[in-house]
Amino acid sequence: MTGPRYRPADSDDAPRYSGPRTFMRLPYVQTTEEVDVAVVGIPTDDAVSYRSGARFGPEAIRSASILLRPYSPALKLDVTEHLSIVDHGDAPTAPGDVVETLKRVASYLRPLHEAGVVPLCLGGDHSVTLAELRAAAAVHGPLGLVHLDAHADVWDSYYGLRYFHGTVFRRALEEGLIDPARSLQAGMRGTLYGAEDEAEPERLGLRCLPWRELRALGPDAFGELARRVTGEQPAFLTFDIDFVDPAFAPGTGTPEVGGPNSAEALAYLEALTGIAFVGLDCVEVAPAYDPAGITAWLAANACHSMLCLIALARTA
């Protein structure tokens, strides 16, 4: 057989709801040989400030993802024809110790980057992105960043703690993991402690589009801007599910009302074509607050869109 080595199970042979839950019914294989993309769960939520539960995010996204089919009409692409994708299992964590978890996750992901594999990670709370950026930057150097979120996550500390889901991008800047000139945050909204909070990303040198500006811009212009900001060098895409309005994605730890709906959120993601993403994630899915499973469905589809972005960047 020609084409990618690893593909999802054939749903014509066995019904989608049968078999163990892997992402998109992909083979559970912990190898880097003949692999383009490794889906990795990062089940941890020790770094949250409000509602916990994102440690069950990977499990919920995997369960929801069994309904995903290979072809995206929006991006006109069958991901399984272009990419060899595996479910690489879960990264190791140290429950109760955020700093140690970050070390273990980065150590787990680094060999993937060294082998030229793109990790698509399922959080976990947003602190996991710092570990992902450490692993990616160790191999690729300082990265461009596209960050979709209701929050900028640039606090210096919270409760006196530096490693937290709200301090990720401040730490990433301090550690030289991202290039501020090639970074773009978008979707920020909700109440703040003061006007200075909204100015903080720009003060750190990050380009930041609050949701009111992103909404006025629209997906196509946003995609253009993101391509211009990130350039052609390696970049990272992080999608915090709370970017989406909690009416559509209630299963998350720190919901902020008045955001994009599901269709709009996917359109903003799918506008990010032509960017050399070497790492991607979908974080902050907390299934305990997601009684109808709608947040996990959206997260699974967002991950499918991200797979399409990887494939399109490679075929361009």
Residues that bind Mn ion (CB under 5 A): 126, 149-151, 153, 240, 242
Could you tell me the smallest distance in angstroms from the CB atom of residue 8 to Mn ion? 29
Q: Which is nearer to Mn ion, 153 or 281 (CB)?
A: 153
Between CA 262 and CA 296 the distance in angstroms is: 12
Q: Which is nearer to Mn ion, 126 or 171 (CB)?
A: 126
Between CA 226 and CA 183 the distance in angstroms is: 8
Could you tell me the smallest distance in angstroms from the CB atom of residue 315 to Mn ion? 30
Q: Which is nearer to Mn ion, 6 or 239 (CB)?
A: 239
Contact 63/148 with Cβ under 8 angstroms? no
Q: Which is nearer to Mn ion, 219 or 259 (CB)?
A: 259
Q: Which is nearer to Mn ion, 70 or 180 (CB)?
A: 180
Could you tell me the smallest distance in angstroms from the CB atom of residue 311 to Mn ion? 26
Could you tell me the smallest distance in angstroms from the CB atom of residue 241 to Mn ion? 8
Between CA 175 and CA 293 the distance in angstroms is: 37
Could you tell me the smallest distance in angstroms from the CB atom of residue 53 to Mn ion? 14
